[in-house]
């Protein structure tokens, strides 16, 4: 076990180093960071009852999680009533094969996709490509990472790690063969070029796949929020619409939806509302002018049901707003890819070990300063930093941490529980450090402390500890 | 039970005229690295008419074990702290994160042991972070300290978010003559210390403390203050390595007028 963790540690630390030395990533992250934070704060300040709405949002999600079976069954009933189909997938593999079957059965060649993190979780794109489908991401950020052959580095801003120059290069490389030979560099021109390229794809697609921000049990509808409108074109133009979602996305009613929407966009991008909020509830009816002929919903479990009723259930409240990523200093430093799986930042560090196995990501819960900013901004009050600490406890109990570190903690506890002996023992390094520092006030190297002293001085300790001074000089204190 | 409560009422009546007793939880960092912080805390508490006691059987609050997920060892340390501080009216801690450990973390450790859970809760209820105690509990007025210069303040994460410490240090600093406080941009963003995190993930930690020091330098302040030595050692260590001029003090040292000597990480024969 400790072997596994040591291998992964090296991998994680390597990814971190690469990220910290990546000039483009650092430029892109520095630009994005304050934007998200400032805009959320502005939106929050403009809505005095924001915190009460957060409480209500948490309560709605908690209520659903306590009655998940009921709401899922109600939702399924309604979808069927509306003429749609519901498919239940135990894991990613099953979900992919269900979706591939639907695509094959409809004779599809081209699939357009709206942004869906759950499809990333399923590794859906390679699975569809393996059965001969051409898959086109239509969310601008997703489209960019698809062109780059990458995965999203942020759950709502997939290409946040890319600079505009990098996007210019990517577009120039991939769009030139399509006749877009001018090298465009301005933001608006880049968006327009992507829009124009993607428009053709929307029209020619056979199947459209979207995610869902919410599934409404009372109407059987799926709700998506976007800022580009790509979700609508993906949902309504192809003859088959497939919705993919985790089972925790169901909510009771449209009234609950209105509460959750009020915190979602504000927490995510600082908007009051995203540009598009679209509600779809099934295939085209005879009286409809447009819409898909078939409507499928693929509900993914993939480990979620095992989180119900346990210590980590609150994580299932997550509405994927990305606020915890935007406010996490570690995420801001290393970006999303260093986390190693599709869910980065605090929510990813909690979720990844739960969905992929505790030994799959030993570093993630530890690579956190427990500063608590994630917990502070979470719109549904997920105690993210507490859950990360819970993970650490779990790791310790499962002996996923190194034997050396566990031994050191026990030895150190033994020492601090013997205060007089501890005081006597600690006097030795205090004396030594003072000798070595020769009054400079700082040490440039300390044994076992290179992690600190490679980049920071270590302020020299006092010659004599406070407790020894207190009890020797002021005998009255004895 | 009834006799016990009668006795405790009698005790309270008896104590009403005597000064409140405060047990100082020194913290291991103040004890070993910066004793002056603890002396400053004693002086401030005494000027607020508190009778300060320093239980000898204290060392560390157990955060290294707790934050490493080692509950068994955390429980051992918690029991010792709970016992050592059982007979004072209040426990005051010159650190937000250590105060949070006593106040909010210890009570979570004894879910299977009601007796200790009660004792842990009793300790939690009387534990205060120093600036919060001085400002809210004893409403310390007439701080007799002067410091001519521009200071900026770093809000340590645990104190800020778990104990809601923000106004208290700023209000207290207003009483220091000559001190001008200039707010630090992103003062609420982590400095990258995180205890063992700073050693285990030193690359990330360094990145974060570098950002923090850049903001400190941009603020043009002569001094940076804070309420947690962990953060201050991290910040001072980075500032000294880069030969930046800003000096680093714990807020207790400033409030107690103990800023004549060298700042954290500065040479002994400072000007």
- Domain limits, chain B: 2-135, 145-255
Number of H helices, E strands in chain B: 14, 8
Element (H, E) at B102: none
What's the pLDDT at B268?
86
pLDDT attached to residue A399: 95
Is it the case that residue A403 has pLDDT exceeding 50? yes
Q: Which residues of A touch B268 (CB under 8 A)?
A: 439-441
- pLDDT above 50 (res B25): yes
The mean pLDDT value for B68-91 works out to 97
Helix (H, G, I), strand (E, B) or coil at B223: strand
Q: Give percent above pLDDT 70 in chain B.
A: 93
Cα–Cα dist A168/A183, whole Å: 7
Do the domain assignments include residue A317? Answer: no
Give the HSE-up count for residue B47: Cα atoms under 13 Å, Cβ half-sphere.
Answer: 18
- Which of A326, A328, A371, A427 to mutate against chain B (most B CBs within 10 Å)? A371
Kindly state whether residues A289 and A163 are assigned to the same domain: yes
**Is residue B61 a contact partner of residue B102, using CB atoms and an 8 Å limit?**
yes
Instruction: Clarify whether residues A4 and A98 are in a common domain.
Output: no
Residues A336 and A364 reside in one and the same domain: yes
Secondary structure class of B55 (helix, strand, coil): coil
Cβ contact A376–B161 (<8 Å): yes
Q: What 3 state SS string does chain A have?
A: CHHHHHHHHHHHHHHHHHHHHCHHHHHHHHHHHHHHHHHHHHHHHCCCCHHHHHHHHHHHHHHHHHCHHHHHHHHHHHHHHCCCEEEEECCHHHHHHHHHHHHHHCCCCEEEECCCHHHHHHCHHHHHHHCCCEEEECCHHHHHHHHCCCCCCCCCCCCCCCCHHHHHHHHHHHHHHHCCCCCCCCHHHHHHHHHHHHHHHHHHCCEEEECCCEEECCCCEEEEEECCCHHHHHHHCCCEEEEEEEHHHEECCHHHHHHHHHHHHHHHCCCCCCCEEEEECCCCCCCCCCCCCEEEEEEECCCCHHHCCCCCHHHHHCCCCCHHHHHCHHHHHHCCHHHCCCCCHHHHHHHHHHHHCHHHCCCCCCCCCCCCHHHHHCCCCCCHHHHHHHHHHHHHHCCCCCHHHHHHHHHHHHHHCCHHHHHHHHHHHHHHHHHHHCCCCEECCCCCCHHHHCCCCEECCCCCCHHHHHHHHCHHHC
Contacts of B56 (CB under 8 A, 6+ apart): A419, A420, A467, A471
Does A251 lie in the same domain as A204?
yes
Residue A301, min C-alpha distance to chain B (Å) = 29
Structural domains counted in chain A: 3
pLDDT > 90 in chain B, percent? 91
Assigned domain for A57 exists: no
Asked if residue A58 is part of any domain, the answer here is no
Which has the closest alpha carbon to B80: A456, A160, A117, A417?
Answer: A417
Residues of A whose CB is below 8 A from B158: 370-372
B171-225 pLDDT per residue, tens:
999 999 999 999 999 999 999 999 999 999 999 999 999 999 999 999 999 999 9
Return residues 23-52 of B near A (CB < 8 Å): 26, 28, 30-36, 38-39
Is residue A117 located within the same domain as residue A3? no
Does A224 map to a domain? yes
Q: What is the mean pLDDT of chain A?
A: 94
Predicted pLDDT at A7: 45
Residue B155 has pLDDT above 80, yes or no: yes
CB B122 within 8 A of CB B128: no
Q: Which of A28-42, A47-61, A312-326 has the lowest mean pLDDT?
A: A28-42
Tell me whether domains B2-135 and B145-255 share a fold: yes
Give the separation between CA A377 and CA A324, rounded to whole angstroms. Answer: 7
Q: Would you say residue A3 has pLDDT above 80?
A: no
* Any domain includes A28: yes
Q: Are A67 and A139 in the same domain?
A: yes
Which residue from B28, B62, B204 is facing A333, i.e. has the nearest CB?
B204
- Contact across the interface for A465 and B204, Cβ inside 8 Å: no
**Do the domain assignments include residue A29?**
yes
Six token digits for residue A179: 């006749």
Residue A47 in this model has a pLDDT that exceeds 70:
yes
Angle at alpha carbon of residue B148, lines to B145 and B152, rounded to 5°: 95
A432 close contact with B: CB closer than 8 A: no
CA distance linking residue A358 with residue A365, whole number of Å: 10
pLDDT digits (tens, 9 = 90+) for A420-442: 999 999 999 999 999 999 999 99
One domain, residues A298 and A152? yes
Q: Which residues 6+ apart lie within 8 Å of A301 measured at CB?
A: A88, A89, A90, A91, A246, A247
Tell me the CATH number at A137. Answer: 3.40.50.10420
pLDDT 10s digits, A18-36? 999 999 999 999 988 888 9
A233 shares a domain with A111:
yes
pLDDT of residue B1: 45
Residue-wise pLDDT for B26-64, tens only, equals 999 999 999 999 999 999 999 999 999 999 999 999 999
User: Does B8 score more than 60 pLDDT?
Assistant: no
pLDDT for the residue A33: 80
Chosen from B162, B204, B248 to mutate, greatest number of chain A CBs within 10 A: B204
* pLDDT-above-90 percentage for chain A: 91
**What does the pLDDT average to over A87-93?**
98
Q: Please tell me whether residues A175 and A295 are part of one structural domain.
A: yes
Rounded to an integer, what is the distance from CA A55 to the centroid of its chain? Answer: 22
Does residue A38 sit within a domain?
yes
Write down the residue that tokens 């001094």 correspond to: B223
Of all residues in chain A, what percent carry a pLDDT higher than 70?
Answer: 97
| Residue A79 shares a structural domain with residue A192 | yes
Looking at the predicted structure, is the pLDDT value of residue A149 above 90?
A: yes
Q: Are residues A14 and A159 in the same domain?
A: no
Q: Are A385 and A370 in contact (CB under 8 A)?
A: yes
Q: Any idea which fold B145-255 has?
A: Rossmann fold (3.40.50)
Residue B2 has pLDDT above 80, yes or no: no
CB of A392 less than 8 A from some CB of B: yes
Chain B neighbors of A409, CB-CB under 8 A: 64-65, 68, 70, 73
**Chain B: closest CA distance from residue A266 (Å):** 20
Q: Contacts of residue B69 in chain A, CB cutoff 8 Å?
A: 389, 391-397, 401
> Which CATH fold would you assign to the domain B2-135?
Rossmann fold (3.40.50)
Q: Would you place residue A447 in the very low, low, confident or very high pLDDT band (cuts 50, 70, 90)? A: confident
pLDDT higher than 60, residue A478: no
- Best probe of the A interface among B82, B85, B201, B242, by most A CBs < 10 A, is B201
Looking at the domain assignment, is residue A53 inside a domain?
no
Q: Which of residues 132-161 of B touch A (CB under 8 A)?
A: 157-158, 161
Handedness of CA A56, A61, A67, A73 (dihedral sign): positive
Instruction: Flag if A455 and B233 touch (Cβ within 8 Å).
Output: no
Question: Is A397 an 8 Å CB contact of chain B?
Answer: yes
> Is B231 a residue whose pLDDT tops 70?
yes
Using an 8 Å CB-CB cutoff, list chain A residues near B209. 456
Write the pLDDT tens digit of every residue in A168-218: 999 999 999 999 999 999 999 999 999 999 998 898 999 999 999 999 999
User: Domain check: are A429 and A403 in the same one?
Assistant: no
Contact call for residues A144 and A127 (beta carbons, < 8 A) = no
Minimum mean pLDDT among A175-179, A443-447, B4-8, B266-270: which range? B4-8
- Per-residue pLDDT tens for A349-362? 999 999 999 998 99
- Across B132-160, average pLDDT: 96
Closest CA in chain A for residue B159: A371
Mean pLDDT of chain B, nearest integer? 94
pLDDT of residue A290: 87
- Which chain A residue is nearest to residue B229, measuring alpha carbons? A459
Cβ contact B238–A455 (<8 Å): yes
3-state secondary structure of B190: coil
Range of the domain at A156: 63-305
- Measured CA to CA, the distance from residue A279 to residue A299 in angstroms comes to 17
Burial A25-44 (b: 16+ CB within 10 A, else e): bbbbbeebbeebbebbeebb
Q: What is the DSSP letter of B137?
A: I
């Amino acid at each position: 076990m400790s072997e596994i963790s040591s291998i992964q540690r090296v991998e994680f630390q390597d990814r971190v180093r690469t990220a910290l030395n990546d000039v483009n990533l650092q430029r892109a992250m520095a630009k994005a960071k304050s934007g998200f934070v400032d805009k959320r704060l502005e939106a929050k300040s403009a809505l005095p009852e924001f915190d009460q709405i957060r409480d209500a949002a948490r309560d709605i999600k908690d209520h659903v999680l306590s009655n998940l079976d009921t709401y899922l069954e109600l939702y399924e009933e309604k979808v069927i009533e509306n003429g749609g189909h519901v498919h239940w997938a135990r894991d990613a593999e099953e979900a992919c094969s269900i979706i591939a079957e639907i695509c094959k059965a409809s004779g599809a060649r081209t699939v357009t996709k709206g942004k869906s993190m759950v499809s990333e979780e399923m590794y859906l794109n390679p699975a569809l490509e393996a059965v001969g489908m051409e898959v086109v991401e239509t969310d601008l950020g997703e489209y960019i990472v698809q062109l780059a052959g990458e995965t999203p580095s942020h759950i709502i801003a997939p290409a946040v790690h890319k600079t505009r120059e990098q996007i210019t290069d990517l577009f120039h490389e991939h769009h030139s063969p399509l006749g877009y030979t001018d090298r465009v560099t301005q933001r608006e021109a880049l968006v327009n070029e992507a829009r124009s390229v993607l428009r053709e794809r929307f029209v020619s697609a056979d199947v459209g796949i979207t995610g869902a921000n919410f599934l409404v049990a009372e109407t059987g509808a799926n709700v998506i929020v976007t800022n580009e409108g790509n979700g609508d074109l993906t949902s309504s133009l192809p003859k088959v619409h497939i919705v993919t979602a985790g089972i925790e996305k169901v909510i009771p009613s449209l009234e609950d939806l209105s509460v959750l929407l009020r915190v979602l966009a504000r927490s995510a991008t600082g908007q009051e509302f995203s540009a598009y909020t679209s509600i779809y509830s099934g295939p085209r009816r005879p009286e409809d002018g447009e819409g898909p002929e078939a409507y499928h919903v693929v509900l993914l479990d993939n480990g979620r049901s095992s989180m119900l009723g346990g210590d980590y259930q609150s994580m299932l409240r997550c509405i994927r707003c990305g606020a915890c990523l935007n406010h996490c200093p570690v995420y801001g430093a290393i970006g999303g890819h260093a986390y190693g799986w599709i869910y980065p930042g605090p929510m990813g560090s909690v979720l990844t070990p739960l969905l992929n196995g505790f030994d799959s990501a030993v570093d993630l819960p530890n690579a956190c300063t427990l500063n608590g900013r994630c917990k502070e901004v979470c719109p549904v009050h997920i105690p993210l930093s507490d859950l990360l600490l819970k993970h650490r406890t779990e790791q310790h109990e499962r002996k996923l941490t190194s034997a050396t570190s566990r031994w050191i903690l026990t030895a150190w506890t033994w020492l601090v529980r013997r205060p007089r002996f501890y005081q006597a023992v600690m006097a030795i390094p205090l004396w030594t450090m003072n000798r070595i520092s020769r009054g400079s006030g700082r040490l440039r190297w300390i044994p076992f402390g290179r992690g600190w002293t490679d980049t920071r001085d270590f302020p020299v300790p006092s010659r004599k500890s406070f407790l020894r001074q207190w009890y020797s000089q002021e005998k009255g204190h004895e | 039970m009834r006799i016990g409560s009668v006795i405790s009422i009698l005790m309270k009546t008896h104590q009403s005229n005597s000064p409140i007793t405060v047990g100082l939880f020194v913290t291991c960092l103040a004890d070993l690295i910066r004793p002056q912080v603890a002396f400053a805390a004693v002086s401030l508490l005494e000027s607020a008419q508190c009778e300060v006691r320093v239980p000898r059987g204290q060392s560390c609050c157990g955060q290294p074990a707790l934050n490493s997920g080692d509950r068994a060892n955390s429980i051992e340390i918690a029991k010792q702290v709970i016992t050592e501080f059982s007979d004072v009216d209040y426990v005051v801690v010159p650190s937000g994160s250590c105060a949070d450990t006593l106040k909010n973390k210890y009570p979570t450790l004894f879910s299977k042991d009601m007796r200790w859970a009660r004792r842990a809760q009793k300790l939690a209820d009387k534990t205060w972070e120093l600036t919060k105690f001085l400002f809210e509990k004893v409403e310390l007025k007439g701080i007799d300290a002067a410091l001519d210069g521009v200071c900026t303040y770093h809000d340590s994460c645990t104190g800020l978010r778990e104990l809601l410490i923000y106004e208290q240090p700023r209000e207290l600093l207003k009483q220091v003559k000559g001190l001008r406080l200039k707010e630090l941009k992103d003062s609420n963003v982590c400095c990258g210390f995180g205890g063992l995190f700073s050693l285990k993930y030193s690359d990330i930690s360094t990145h974060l403390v570098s950002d923090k020091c850049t903001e400190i330098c941009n603020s043009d302040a002569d001094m940076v203050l804070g309420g947690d030595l962990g953060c201050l050692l991290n910040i001072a260590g980075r500032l000294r390595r880069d030969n930046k001029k800003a000096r680093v003090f714990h807020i207790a040292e400033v409030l107690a007028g103990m800023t004549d000597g060298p700042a954290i990480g500065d040479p002994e024969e400072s000007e």
